[in-house]
Chain A
Amino acid sequence: MAIRWSRWSPQFALAPAVAITVVAFIGAIVWTIWLSFTASKRFPDYTLQADIWKQYTRLFKDAGWQIALKNLLILGVGSFLAIVFGFILAALIDREKRGEGIFRTIFLYPLAVSLIVTGIAWRWMFNPSFGVQHFLHSIGLTGLNFDWLSKGETAMYGIILATVWQGSGFYMALMLSGLKSINSEIWSAAKLDGVSFWRLYAEIIIPMMKFTFLTCAILLSLGVVKAYDIVVAMTNGGPGQATWVPAYFTINAYWVKSNLGYASAAAVIMLLITSAIFLPLVLLTAWRERSREARA
């Protein structure tokens, strides 16, 4: 029987991608999970420990890891401001078409800048001797504090501020495309019915954009788990361990503590957190697919 190239050639073409997925993703994840059950230090050691959960029990007793988890939560909650802010900006830009191009360009440019540069810029503004604080004090506002990064209690808020500055434009862009996909007849109908501005948004527009909001929330959460660069650039984890986050903890455990098994255990927990966020995204995609089919 003749060879059906239409069957085989695409499968040959897919082979590299499949190989990469199997080795660099699936294989590597399994590999890391295995390492987390070992006592590997500087170099991998593949013999399982007697108590395979040892690295994990140690991890959850580690004060640094507890701080990292707490900070993850703070950063997550605080970063939600970026979604709120992004939505307000999008709604206002969409409402008042004048200057749309300019405003959009300004709100989005931080996204083109790396987080290292963002962090360095904000770190400079937070500088207690020459930064914004000094300026405020010099114009008589001595009661205001803006040296957040030098104190453990406020350092995370500094990071949140920089994160919101960097990310709001992105959520604005997603919200804008969501707003633009709303049928223009709805705006006309609301106008004819004399629905007030607030009620229109609260009762019609925001419920219609629930998919967009959910997507934004999930993307934001996934981004928060990965947060690393901004922490390095702004505080490098300090002061003390005050701004450690899981991503920072994991890299630190590998490079500074040279503890491969311990770093792997922390990475596995990061994967679990990601999966917990990711599951709703999978369900959301499936739900969307179904509601799209139902409409069709």
Chain B
Amino acid sequence: MPRVQFEDIIKTYGRVTVLKNLDLAIDDGEFLVLLGPSGCGKTTLLNLLAGLLDVTAGRISIGGKDVTDLDPKDRGLAMVFQSYALYPTKTVRGNLKFGLAAHKLDAAETERRIGWAAKLLQIEALLDRKPAQLSGGQRQRVAIGRALVKKVGVFLFDEPLSNLDAKLRTEMRLEIKKLHDDLKSTIVYVTHDQIEAMTMATKIAVMDAGVIQQFGTPDEIYSRPANLFVAGFIGSPAMNLRPATIAIAGGKVAARSAGVDLDLTNYPYVTRPVDGQDVVIGLRPEHFGEPGASVPDPAGMFSLPVQYTEKTGGDATAYLKFGDSLIATRVDPEQIGRFKQGDTIQIAFPQGKAHVFDAQTGRWL
């Protein structure tokens, strides 16, 4: 079955190394999202899998078969591109048909597949139009259709939603998710948008600087970020990361930062910290208690002046001055009008929600 596997992949352009000894394997039916900032190598990795680029060293296999030296058309893949890459001189039907160019099917089967994909994507009425006569969302559907007709085991998506407006993006997100649920095919999906990653993926590989920083389910990535990069990259507003020092006294472990102690006694340490160790603590804005409200047995209490507030419709964030930096905390948008710059407010951080990272290695402790 199409198990996609990368083994010790190295990709260099001249003296620039884009991918460094990368290993990754996903099982049949997974929805893998390659997530990372631009330039992290995620699109390169996808193009290597597609065969549009050649690896410098390493092995790629699909379903146990080594495809490293195969032409793109022979790898049993289909791909949806960021700009859709529809053939401008062909009709929608012609585009779908050319999707089967390498498949040597008889006319009846070709027609059957085009009909099937068109029905599934609701583009039957558009089959005789040219791409220039379609809206962005319609082009997107045609691009997906051209991939679907191939009926292959693995679909590749290269930032397919980045050219759509916000509303369409949400719709297409749901639709691609639904297609995956219906077709049970393996999907490798590249994006820099963490919302897309969190909502669609069954597995996320967070990449940075040519290295996979963490590979896991969306929940694992969110609740147990493997290192500082993942912690800072996932979540919006971003996790508050503050340098702190470990203080162990009488069986109690605490992290001290800018005069505030955060109780970490019950933290599920991978390696136990020592007294005086430099760490970075990570506090998600959404985990803070409401200002002024009491949290039973908080890990830490902060009493901080408001620097400024931000309201984005259903969400609101207050930025509080903490030492020489800021801490973001999510606030009830109904309440945010009460806070003026300079007001000092009391907020509590609950037990069991903090993250601790080694200040030297950046790893999750």
Contact = CB atoms under 8 A, between A and B. Distances in A.
Give yes or no for direct A-B contact (beta carbon below 8 Å).
yes
Interface of A: 1-2, 4-6
A5 B69 CA distance: 11
Contact of B72 (A1, A2, A6): A6
Chain B residues touching A, majority SS: loop
B69 A1 contact: yes
Contacts of B72: 6
Contacts of B71: 2, 4-6
A6 to B, nearest CB: 5
Contacts of A4: 69-71
Contacts of B69: 1-2, 4
If over half of A's interface residues share one DSSP class (helix, strand or loop), that class is named, otherwise mixed; here it is loop
Contacts of A2: 69-71, 74
A1 B66 CA distance: 11
10 contacts: A1-B69, A2-B69, A2-B70, A2-B71, A4-B69, A4-B70, A4-B71, A5-B71, A6-B71, A6-B72
Nearest to A6: B71
A2 B70 CA distance: 7
Interface string B346-365: 00000000000000000000
B201 to A, nearest CB: 31
B129 to A, nearest CB: 31
Given A1-B69, A2-B69, 9 more contacts: A2-B70, A2-B71, A2-B74, A4-B69, A4-B70, A4-B71, A5-B71, A6-B71, A6-B72
A2 B69 CA distance: 8
A262 to B, nearest CB: 50
Query: 4 tightest CB-CB pairs across the interface, nearest first?
Result: A6-B71, A4-B71, A1-B69, A5-B71
A4 to B, nearest CB: 6
B37 to A, nearest CB: 20
A200 B74 CA distance: 60
B256 to A, nearest CB: 48
A9 to B, nearest CB: 10
Contacts of B74: 2
Interface in B67-82: 69-72, 74
A296 to B, nearest CB: 15
Contacts of B70: 2, 4
Nearest to B73: A6
A6 B70 CA distance: 9
Nearest to A1: B69
A1 B67 CA distance: 11
Nearest to A3: B71
